[in-house]
Each structure stands twice: as C-alpha cells, then as structure tokens.
Homo-oligomer: A and B are copies of this chain.
C-alpha cells in the first residue's frame, strides 16, 4: 500500500516527483473519452520507469496464442486492444541536452488530474545536467466534446538562462505492446507527411496469419507556438523516421518568459471512416479543432464533464479519502465507456494499461451495467446489451466448437469481436456462468429502464440462445434422479472443474425461467414479431419448453441440511473448513500457494453462492442470506477485486455495519493506494463499478422494484453525509 497521492475531493495529486512509482502514477492519471485513452505519460522523453500507452477503442490485433499444452477448441489468437500511435510526445533539447526528468534534477514537481474537468496538469522546474534550469507547465485532455481529438498546452520558462531550444512535437507509431506474446509488433506504416507545424502519420495493423480485420489509424497534429500570450511565427524542420513524423522547432527562449506549444491532435480510424477519406477527414478534423483553439476546446470539454457530474456525483462528507475514492471510480468509468458506439465495451483495465488485452469479460454485465444504468443515458446501458446481441452468431459458433447444436449460444469468456480469446480449459470451456450474466444484464436493463420493447428488438434471440445452451449443458443423473451440471468453474475461480456449482445451476435455471417469461412478455408487446423470432430460430415450442420446464422443476442444488446452507458445489463438505483468520501469514494465497493447494482448500476467491444471492435476492429470506453469509464470508479471501462489493451489499442488508465498511475499504481506494501492488499495470476499471455498487446498493440500499426506486440507506460511522 502506498500513500503518496494527496487526499483531495476532486483531484488526484502527486506533489513532489516519485519516479519509483511513475508507472503507478501513469495509470492513475490516465485520460480517456470512450473513443481513445492513454496513460499519464510525460510529453517529453523519460528514460525512467514508464509504460507508454495510447489506445483507440475497437482497434485490436490478433496476438498469437501462447499456450503450453494445446486443447481442442482453444482460440488461435488473443484479440487485444493494442498500443497505438504515441501522439502526446514533445521532445525538448536544451543546449544539446535532452530534457529528461530521469536524468535532470527535479527542483519542484506537482501534477494532478482534475476529475471535475477531465484535465491533466503538470508544473515542474528542473535543472539539467548542463546546469540550465527550466520550468515546464503542461495541460492536456482527450476531449469528450470532440472525441477524436486530444490537445496539449505545453509551456517552457527558462529560469537561469536565455538560449536556443529545440522542441519537437511528434507522432510515433513505432510502438510495441509490452505484453505481446512473441514480442511481435503489430503496426506497419502506410504513409506520412509533414509541413509547417503539421504532421500526418498513417499506420495500419499488419496483415496476419489469422486473416482478421485490419485497422487503419491516421493521426494528424497541428502545432501553434505562442510567446507570452501571443501566437508567433516559427520555423519547422520536418523529421521523418520509420512510422514517425515530427516537426522540429528551434526557438530562442528568454529567461523568465513563457513559450507555449499548442499541439492539437486528431486520431481517426477505419472503424469510422473509409480508407479513401481517412487521411483527408483526419486533416479536416485537426484543422477544425485547432481553429477552435485550446481555451474553447477546454471549455467545451469541461462543460460536458460538468453535465456528467450533474447526473452522477456522489458526495461523502467527513472523509476526504472516501470522497476522492468514489469520485475517482466514477470518473474513470465514465472516461472508459460513453455508450456512443455498440462496438465498444469495457476492458478490465479500460484505457489504462495492456493487461487483459482490453477485452470484455462478464464484469460488464455483472458489475458495470448497473453503474451505467444509474449514471448515464439509457442508450449507454442499451449499447452494452446490443454489443452482445451483435455477437450472438459468434456465440452460437463458439458453442458449436464445443459440441453444442441447434442454436445453443455460449458467449466467450473474454472477447473483442465476439470470438473467444481465452485459453485455459477450466475457464474458457467451463466458466460458463458468464452466459447467465449476459442474460441477467438484459433483465437488469429492462427492470431499470422499463424498456420491455428491447426484448422484441434484440433481447429474445440472445435469451433463447443462452437457454438452449443450458438445456444441452445439463444432464440427467440416474443416480440423483435430478439434472446435474458437471465440470464447471464458478465465479469462485479457486475451484475448477467441479460438479454442480450452486451458482451456475441456479443462474441456468433462472435463465430458462426468464426466457420463458420474456417470450410471454414479448408476445404481449408484439406477438407477430415474437412469432417471427421463434420461427427464425426454428424454435420447437413444445419440445424445447417441455425440456426447459422439466429442468426448471428437477434441477439439483447442493445443500447442507444440517447447516441449512447452499453448498458451493458437490463435495464441498469434504474440505477442511477453516477460516481466513487461520491462514493470515499465507495471504494472498494466489501468490503463496500452489494451485492444487488453493483448489483443495476451502478458501474462496469470490463467494459465488453469495453472488447468486445478490443477483436474486428476492428469492431468499434474510435468514437464509444470513446463514449463507456467515458460512461463506469467513472463508472468502477476496483475491478478486470484484468480490468485496457483494459482501458490502449483503452486510448492509444484514445490518452488519462494520463488516460492510471493512469490505468497502478493500476496494474503495484499491488503485489510489496501490493496494494490490499492481496498479502500475493499469487501473481496475470494472471493479470500480463494484465499488460504486457498494456505496449505492450497499450503503444507499438502492433498488429498483416495480418501476420504483427504493432506498434503505445506512451511513458508515466514519462518514457524516452520503
């Protein structure tokens, strides 16, 4: 845990330079606007610890799968959002020496991300090896008003000299992914041009062995130079290198006088423009934003942010750290996904790092959708559903690869474009509860918005595909005289390949029921359309619904009649039932124990019985919840950042205030305090939605039932107002 980030209600502040934590700070100071995003890298060269990261939503590359022991059905590639053109770069050379905060003496340093306005600012004075002292002031943002644009205001003030300075704003496409499986690079250059204060770089993802879609990315920059508040004329020397274009500007800087570079950048891709017009559109775009000027752009950007905050701010009084934590989570979630485009989704790290490849997990449906439903326009949540609807055919093909038929759909564990990208059999093939979460997302959206029409527009075919999967995935146990589901991995990934995971069995039956009910609901809205859907899907009403109902009525759920708790899976009671407090010195077990030891222990990564009781809370009495909570909570190590929020919500419902607050603290500042020593890889974006749920559904007790908002709030003792 680290404490170098200042507590502030609206800002993420680093006061004094912490180069040893620079990659963490880069993650924390990430910017995004739903269409692109980037880590908080310095504009100028930095030879210290840094993970360069600029990402464009929906632009990916099929990185060749790395696997030890191949299994039938494994995907050939992992589609990952890739590092793209570095457009923030501005190299500075003073008297022949490169400005580099790693080699210079940093005299003062202050940088912050203003969450209210979405701007990253930096103020620093440094002394170079050659003795020259210079002040740097920089501001930048990814505009949410003009979401293809990024803008930088970069000022230099010589403190103890006057003299020649070379400043080179550039666009650099010769970037790598640190996580590339075989150290491959993913981009090739198509074209570049540069002229007075301008540069254009056109790169394209490489042709690849998997013959997947390729993406063109054109970045254009326009540079203005101001001196003491006035635009000035300047000379530029064009610099061209492989996948790189720069404008070298030589200036005579005067001591104590401020020279400012405005760098306007547009990043347009073939996702939105055809190849023929891509370059010209990008040039037009950058011209348009440059014409507005920095001030106007910043104001429009800030206005948009003000509007967002108007609708989704959470205020906490009496606890600045908590206030900062919750706002940081909201801010990052809103930066990551804006719902403008149903081709995009939410990667576990958003635009803040490479880990997990920027792909979509069940996190979206289980944790993120409720956040966007409550904080954003309806279309935002809806587009997240449409994303899955658009992948239905691929989910059907995915199920076919695993031996399913007749329109059964298995959504991938992780995906970019609907193709499964994961390759661990116990997850890829067996962590099938994700299918249930996707159905639950539809339920959640309709419950919140009342938009039942969604069913006949996009919902029903997804629900039917999912239900068909479940109906084929269970089998009749002659021994139990029940349906069973063998060989699954539940949300608690510290058990693999188990039989009758309670959560998975439960959500499977729920899916079947909800689908039947949705067909009925849909028919009330538009019977013809429903008939058309069923007919398109070759739905055999009698046979399929008979089977579904038979499963609904005869599913097996592991249960302990003695303790009166649902059992996580068959055989759970054969384990040595210990408490997390018994293994204090062994934690985190995922770092200290071998996998077999984790698997045969009772310890739980995230408690899936409790996850199920959260999704379907109305199905259970408070007594039932209490028994199960008291049974599973002590065995839960919460080594998934998605785990504690469910415990907060249950603990709140059960009046366990201290437990609720204790659990809340685990995630509220997970990244700000680098709780898990991994913030340098990027932020835990999807678990931020979990933290939001803790506050809103936990402390706030907010529910939507029968088209009405319900609250059952309690205030943690540490807070004055929520």
A interface residues (Cβ-Cβ under 8 A, vs B): 65-69, 71-73, 401-403, 423-426, 429-430, 475-480, 484, 486-487, 496-500, 570-571, 573-577, 590-597, 599-600
Tell me the minimal C-beta distance from A625 to chain B in angstroms.
Answer: 23
Residues of B within 8 A of A476 (CB): 576
Given contacts A477-B573, A478-B577, contact A594 B73 (CB under 8 A): yes
Contact B475 A576 (CB under 8 A): yes
Given contacts A65-B68, A425-B595, A475-B574, 12 further A-B pairs with CB under 8 A are A71-B594, A71-B595, A72-B590, A72-B591, A401-B594, A429-B594, A477-B574, A486-B571, A486-B574, A487-B599, A497-B497, A497-B599
Residues of B within 8 A of A571 (CB): 486, 499, 570-571
Residues of B within 8 A of A590 (CB): 72
Between-chain CB contacts (< 8 Å), 15 pairs: A72-B592, A72-B595, A425-B595, A426-B426, A426-B496, A429-B595, A475-B575, A475-B600, A477-B575, A478-B573, A486-B575, A486-B599, A497-B497, A500-B574, A571-B571
Contact B595 A423 (CB under 8 A): no
Residues of B within 8 A of A425 (CB): 594-596
Contact B429 A487 (CB under 8 A): no
Q: How many copies does the complex hold?
A: 2
Tell me the minimal C-beta distance from A709 to chain B in angstroms.
Answer: 42
Taken together as a complex, chains A and B put the C-alpha atoms of A236 and B575 apart, in Å, by 74
Contact A593 B475 (CB under 8 A): no
Residues of B within 8 A of A574 (CB): 475, 477, 479-480, 484, 486, 499-500, 570
Tell me the minimal C-beta distance from A90 to chain B in angstroms.
Answer: 38
Kindly report which residue of chain B lies nearest to residue A589, judged by CB atoms. B72
The one of B68, B72, B484 that contacts A66, using a Cβ cutoff of 8 Å? B68
Taken together as a complex, chains A and B put the C-alpha atoms of A424 and B590 apart, in Å, by 16
Taken together as a complex, chains A and B put the C-alpha atoms of A576 and B599 apart, in Å, by 26
Contact B479 A573 (CB under 8 A): yes
Residues of B within 8 A of A593 (CB): 72, 403
Taken together as a complex, chains A and B put the C-alpha atoms of A229 and B140 apart, in Å, by 89
Taken together as a complex, chains A and B put the C-alpha atoms of A593 and B599 apart, in Å, by 25
Contact A594 B402 (CB under 8 A): yes
Residues of B within 8 A of A597 (CB): 402-403
Contact A486 B71 (CB under 8 A): no
Taken together as a complex, chains A and B put the C-alpha atoms of A242 and B549 apart, in Å, by 73
Taken together as a complex, chains A and B put the C-alpha atoms of A31 and B593 apart, in Å, by 45
Tell me the minimal C-beta distance from A399 to chain B in angstroms.
Answer: 10
Taken together as a complex, chains A and B put the C-alpha atoms of A403 and B599 apart, in Å, by 13
Taken together as a complex, chains A and B put the C-alpha atoms of A596 and B426 apart, in Å, by 8
Interface centre among A65, A499, A574, A576 (most CB of B within 10 A): A574
Residues of B within 8 A of A498 (CB): 497
Kindly report which residue of chain B lies nearest to residue A486, judged by CB atoms. B600
Tell me the minimal C-beta distance from A571 to chain B in angstroms.
Answer: 5
Taken together as a complex, chains A and B put the C-alpha atoms of A424 and B496 apart, in Å, by 13
Kindly report which residue of chain B lies nearest to residue A71, judged by CB atoms. B595
Taken together as a complex, chains A and B put the C-alpha atoms of A21 and B593 apart, in Å, by 48
Kindly report which residue of chain B lies nearest to residue A560, judged by CB atoms. B479
Kindly report which residue of chain B lies nearest to residue A598, judged by CB atoms. B72
Taken together as a complex, chains A and B put the C-alpha atoms of A600 and B478 apart, in Å, by 15
Tell me the minimal C-beta distance from A186 to chain B in angstroms.
Answer: 19
Interface centre among A65, A66, A402, A487 (most CB of B within 10 A): A487
Given contacts A497-B496, A571-B570, contact A429 B478 (CB under 8 A): no
Taken together as a complex, chains A and B put the C-alpha atoms of A401 and B594 apart, in Å, by 7
Residues of B within 8 A of A599 (CB): 486-487, 497
Taken together as a complex, chains A and B put the C-alpha atoms of A401 and B67 apart, in Å, by 23
Taken together as a complex, chains A and B put the C-alpha atoms of A429 and B424 apart, in Å, by 16
Taken together as a complex, chains A and B put the C-alpha atoms of A429 and B597 apart, in Å, by 9
Contact B430 A596 (CB under 8 A): yes
Taken together as a complex, chains A and B put the C-alpha atoms of A297 and B19 apart, in Å, by 71
Tell me the minimal C-beta distance from A68 to chain B in angstroms.
Answer: 4
Residues of B within 8 A of A402 (CB): 594, 596-597
Tell me the minimal C-beta distance from A603 to chain B in angstroms.
Answer: 13
Residues of B within 8 A of A65 (CB): 68
Residues of B within 8 A of A487 (CB): 596, 599-600
Kindly report which residue of chain B lies nearest to residue A424, judged by CB atoms. B69
In the A-B complex, the 7 residue pairs with the smallest Cβ-Cβ separation, listed nearest first, are A429-B596, A73-B594, A479-B573, A487-B600, A486-B600, A67-B68, A425-B595
